[in-house]
Structure 1
Amino acid sequence: MREQLTHLLEHFPQIFTTLGVLLGGAALGLLVKALLFALVRAFSRREDSPLARSVLRHLRQASSWFFPVLAISLLLPLTQLPPRAFEVLRRFVEITLILTFAWGLIKVLDVAQDLVQRRYQLDSGDNLRVRKLFTQLQFIKKLVMSLIVLVAVGLVLMSFATVRKIGTGLLTSAGIASVIVGFAAQRSISNLLAGFQIAFTQPIRIDDVLVVEGEWGRVEEITFTYVVLRIWDERRLVLPLNYFIEKPFQNWTRNSAQILGTVHVQTDYTVPVDAVRAELQRIVEGSPYWDRRVCALHVTDSKERTLELRALVSAADAGAVWELRCIVREQLVGFLQREYPGSLPRLRVEEPLGQVKAES
């Protein structure tokens, strides 16, 4: 016990110096970070800069770790540790610096995404070019994030001599390993290639309106392996990327967000078609969902007991045309009930004349 205490007292100056360097470096890094962000905050208040606001929102937490670790790594040679202890501490600081730097790079991607989303808005009426851009940027962002993580993990692992030796040994059998991995991960690789194809040929894009597996919804997210479709009732339909390469589906916004909608109404043969056509024109002119392109009414079928009227209307996007179709259907039926109740579908029964006389 006395020997351990004596050994500790002998190394107390080294321990004290090391703690001083670590705490001083951390304090210096936090001070630099506070000054930088104070300048950015002041610039944001004065200029109302979207870039400054995005930097403050996304990079604050990552920089709170990166700057202190960076300062510690710069001041580390001032410590007076034995070579073995110094190497352990240096290795730990180096790994932490790599990881915090990678974290900061990923947050920089979020800043870039904020700037793009501010410049280009998805909620505009005809946003075809914006959806093309967002689809490509989302895929590129995920790819760059994966590369950053891969490189950071690789640098951390390669900092250990044992891992470097293992890596050198594995390179000699890379041919056999690549074949095995290729067979094991062929579906994942095909999904990745499908992701590249979707990102740049774009059969689907972010915010596209699709009808898939009998479900109507919008493309909410495209990842490396799957697509998330937001169904109209807030459910989520998740499909692999290969689905959109190998199977047919409906894309209502492939070339334009503008779309036509139909409303079918079954009526009696006595319906006044011209009056219904005039009422349709009045309905759509009073609706904010009509884009003033198409409004037409036709008799599209004549069945044994009813006529089929088809109203054709247009709107700026799929959501608007859905609302417009519901309004047209509801108000046309109400118009017939109110003005021409005899024109609604009905069943006629005719009795033989001889039977009527006999009963009388």
Structure 2
Amino acid sequence: MLERYDPRNWSISYDDVIAHLITLGAAVLAALVVHWILFAVIRRVVSHSSSVIDDVVLAKIRRPLRFAMIGFAISIGAENDALIGRGWDVFTGFLTPALVGWVAFAAVKGVAAGYEVQVQNADDPVAHRGRMTRIAILSRTVRVAIAIVTVSLVMLNIPGVRDVGTTMLASAGLAALAVGAAAQPALKSLIAGLQMAITQPLRIGDLVKVDDQAGRVEEIRMSFVTVRTWDERVLVVPTSRLLEQTFENWSRVSEKLTGPVMLHLDPVAEVEPIRVEFERFVKEHPLWDGRNLALVMTEAYPESIELRLAMSAATIGDLFNLRCAVREHMIEWLKLNQSGALIRHRLEVEAANQRVLGA
């Protein structure tokens, strides 16, 4: 068997080399022609479909399937050519799982991309975020599994790696214990990612608050979640932590929220005129959605009172802008109409001197 792969035993003439090259060229050319015809027919069939998934999948698998068909054509040519067969037998064990894994990886990626395009026009933003999150996590899990299986099949064709695997199977108990201990963080992340996809405590695009930092969920991976804050910082939070600890999700059900503006005033403040002005301003503001509007006194201290001005908006961004507008307007109105209601903690030295001189 060793003599078959020993180049010193090969007797190759110039005509043989030309014949072998013609065989390889014919196989590659035939594969490309078949690939072109096959995809032309499939595109014709897919054009009559209303779904965009098959179009995206077809575009994703076009290139890997071309190389897979070339490899398949060379395998057929190698059956009738001894020299090509000698070399191809060495590489086919590596190329076959690699090409099959590439096609499967591209197909899964295409299906995920097709579903993402299909749900882009969803009317319900909450349902859209849920579907996007499920597609991202599940497709990434399947792709990781395909990559692991492909690499494992390729590595098993290496004699040394195969012997190591046989040795590990012989001592399966100790090996399983060692592998289980080493793979515990990866398995924990995998389980956490799958649980995140199924239960969906948060989704891509949700506005969450973690460690007193609020931001939008940009990406959900198996091991971590990225959150983009308002000042463009990125928080990287372990996925398992979000499943084990408390966090706030401000858009879990919908984007509609009610938010407060807190005013701390002097006890001499007249509350009813402040309530009338607050309600008038909010009702005329275009960002108010008409759901909630209320002013209540939540605390009363010897030196101050606390007013909570609650209002609602259709989206979280609108609510933030509305609260800022209300806060600015009410302070300006109080300075003009009830200046005595504003709390002062300043030493009015000049006024005190005038009172002393006047006495």
- Paired residues of 1:14 and 1:79 also in contact (CA < 8 A): no
Structure 2 contact 46–54 (Cα < 8 Å) conserved: yes
Whether contact under 8 Å (2:263, 2:308) holds in the other structure is yes
Q: Which amino acid aligns with 1:114?
A: A
Query: C-alpha displacement at 1:216, in angstroms?
Result: 0.6
In structure 1, the partner of 2:119 is 120
2:99 alignment counterpart:
100
Deviates more, 1:189-198 or 1:139-148: 189-198
The counterpart of 2:260, out of the listed 259, 262, 272, is 262
Partner of 1:24: 26
| Structure 1 residue 238 displacement after superposition | 1.1
Q: Residues 58 and 111 of structure 1 are in contact (CA less than 8 Å); yes or no, is this contact kept in structure 2?
A: yes
Q: Which moved more, 1:233-242 or 1:8-17?
A: 8-17
Secondary structure, aligned partner of 1:203: coil
In 2: Cα distance, 1:64 partner to 1:208 partner: 40
Q: What's the counterpart of residue 70 of structure 1? A: 72
CA deviation digits over 1:294-322, x for unaligned, max 9? Answer: 11111222344443221111233433322
Deviation at 1:269, TM superposition (A): 4.2
**CA deviation string 1:52-100 (max 9, x = no partner):** 542354334333423322332333323242xxx6243133245324323
Matching residue's letter, 1:184: A
**Residues 71 and 309 (structure 1 numbering): CA distance in 2 closer, same or farther, change over 3 Å?**
same
Structure 2 unaligned regions, length at least 5: 1-8, 349-353
Give 1:261 deviation, angstroms. Answer: 0.9
1:163-192: CA deviation from partner (whole Å, max 9, x where unpaired): 444422221112101212233333333333
1:326 aligns to 2:324 (yes or no): yes
Question: Could you tell me how far apart the structure 2 residues matched to 1:339 and 1:119 are?
Answer: 56
Q: 1:51 aligns to what?
A: 53
Instruction: Provide the rounded CA distance (Å) in 2 between the counterparts of 1:219 and 1:295.
Output: 29
Q: Deviations over 1:87-116 (max 9, x none)?
A: 431332453243233122222222222232
Equivalent-residue separation in structure 2 for 1:42 and 1:269 (angstroms): 78
Percent identity between the aligned chains?
31
Residues 1-360 of structure 1 aligned to structure 2 (within 5 Å): 10-38=12-40, 50-51=52-53, 53-55=55-57, 57-81=59-83, 86-121=85-120, 126-127=125-126, 129-160=127-158, 163-346=161-344, 359=358
Q: 2:22 and 2:195 mapped to 1: Cα distance? A: 55
3-state secondary structure, aligned to 1:300: strand
Q: For the structure 1 residues 16 and 246, does the alpha-carbon distance in structure 2 shift closer, same or farther, using more than 3 Å as the test? A: same
* Cα offset, 1:346, TM superposition: 4.0
- Counterpart-to-counterpart distance in 1, 2:104 and 2:288: 46
TM value normalised by structure 1: 0.80
- Amino acid in structure 2 at the alignment position of 1:233: D
- Residue identity in the other structure for 2:131: L
Q: Deviations over 1:176-211 (max 9, x none)?
A: 012122333333333333333333233333333221
SS at the partner of 1:299?
Answer: strand
- Contact preservation (8 Å) 1:120, 1:130: yes
User: Quick one: distance in 1 between partners of 2:155 and 2:333?
Assistant: 75
- CA RMSD in angstroms, aligned pairs only: 3.5
Q: Report the Cα offset of residue 41 of structure 1.
A: 5.9
Matched residue type, 1:31: V
Alpha-carbon deviation of 1:153?
Answer: 1.9
Residue 278 of structure 1 and its aligned partner are, at CA, apart by 3.5
Q: Is the 8 A contact 1:21 1:78 kept in 2?
A: no
Q: Distance in 1 between matches of 2:321 and 2:56?
A: 36
Distance 1:165 1:299, change over 3 A: same
